[in-house]
Structure 1
Amino acid sequence: MDQDKRKIILKEIDHWRRSRLLPEQYCDFLENLYKDQTEGSSPRSGFTLNTLIQQGSLKLWSLSFGIISFFFFIVFYFNVFPWGLQIAITLLLSAACYALAAYHRRDKALFSMSMAGLGSLMLLGFGSWIIAIQGWPPGIGTTLLIAFCGFVWLVLGYALRFGIISYCGFACGMLLYAFLLGQLNPDASWGMLQVFWLPLAAIFFWLSWLGYHRLKAMAPVFFAVSVSLWCMPEADALLLRDAEIAAMPALILMKIVAAFLLLFGLRKKWVVWITS
């Protein structure tokens, strides 16, 4: 098969992926199959980081050194900048990492995931640093930061199809919900916490089923959120409220057994949802 036909086929596979005419793993298999045929004999196939370091030009080395030096300059003088410039730098650096993640999403999945993770860490880390430097009220500042990070991670995870990033966005939502419950009902009992959290676990379990039929990329994320919400009443009581319940180990064991029985009984359903 000549190169033009292979390029046409690869474009068609990409169209199937974007329009979701075929499952993601089928598109990956077909794309790798034809990429192996087109790129296997390419002289760049053995191009590695080692050769990049050894054979890199002076221009490339200078650019890399400049970028690294500029980053350390920003970190060193970050607390001197006005708060507006601090926020702008944080958003700019995070957006640059996210842009690299999106650009290399197809051809370098590991690098793309690393850049998305680095951008997320910068957003959270620099945001926390700004709150500490400016002396803003930690309660309000932290809540706004968590809400903003959660929104960004939800959108980014869905756009780039990175389930772990989407899960982090939902985790921010769970944390904000726990803070809200702590403010509205600080003396809630263990039974009341079950009422607050378990219906949400059931909702996200249903969303996992719905995602399998409507939005396959999000089905595993919804399932992971559902499992996390199942454990949140105990986490809320122990970590956020410092509750002292003598029977807590027995209650946790009971919840684990109940989860085991539910997952075992429904295994033929949820396994399909998270692996398709």
Structure 2
Amino acid sequence: MKKVNIGNSGLMASEISLGIMRMNVLTHEEAVKVIQTALDNEIDYFDHADIYGKGDSEAIFGKAFKEVGLSRDKVLLQTKCGIIPGEMFDFSKEHIIASVEGSLKRLQTDYVDTLLLHRPDTLVEPEEVAAAFDELEKTGKVRHFGVSNQNPMQIELLKKTVTQPLLINQLQLSITHAPMIDAGFNVNMVNGASIVHDGSVLEYSRITDMTIQPWSPFQSGNGKKGIFLDNLDYVELNELIEIMADEKDVSREAIAIAWLLRHPAKMQPIVGSMNPDRIAAICQASAVSLSRTEWYALYKAAGKILP
């Protein structure tokens, strides 16, 4: 597994991360097998959130990781906070600190390597976030910080007072759901793809050395449900993925992830499978090289039109 430099900070991590959102549906034995499979395939970065499985995903992972028997410093743990499901978003100092305390307890660890603010809170007071981050860093409970689902101006607002580097922005991105890429191709056009939904977040991330963590990298997006693999709405894309997978002797999932890894933004996809065989198949992506021609062919096969 190749490594990625998170936020150009020197924090080196596997270029594919395992998302733990669905671990709450696993038994203890199944969770142990998932974690061990990830480690066997050289994934060392695990993505959590306080709300996943109402906290059960973190708790199951924490217990299972203890049984794996690997030293804590051999992996990187990330969690997210700021969502109170069905009620509101909360970036207050009180909520951020309480959330981290809960995550640490469930994960059975003294610290997390990275903490992300999960969804933008329009009532955010950057001074509160800064105070929370300072306290968490000072006490050693969080080592690095970032955001999720935020646009450049929301990040700049936080930077007014937050002194720690914001290393990460976790954003939805796949071959079929790529508005941040679509808009870049269609500058000065008047078609739908030219609409900039997110303030040029792709280019901003590259300029500011923020690592984009694509989430739902197999989801069809664009208002459509389900994954694009074996989806009849994407026949041409699936045919091309199948051809490339056969040519390179890897899984179809590996081709889909390799498309993200090929981008020079040096992204770190978050994959959420709880199927050990599929995790292993996905990890083949780290050894796949896509040419510029192949990358563009996949993009166009997804129904994208270049201007």
Q: TM-score range by the shorter chain?
A: under 0.3
TM-score after normalising by structure 1: 0.26
Q: Which has the higher contact order (CA 8 A, sep 6+)?
A: 2
TM-score for both structures, normalised by structure 2: 0.24
| More strand as a share of residues | 2
In our comparison, the structure showing a higher alpha carbon Rg is 1
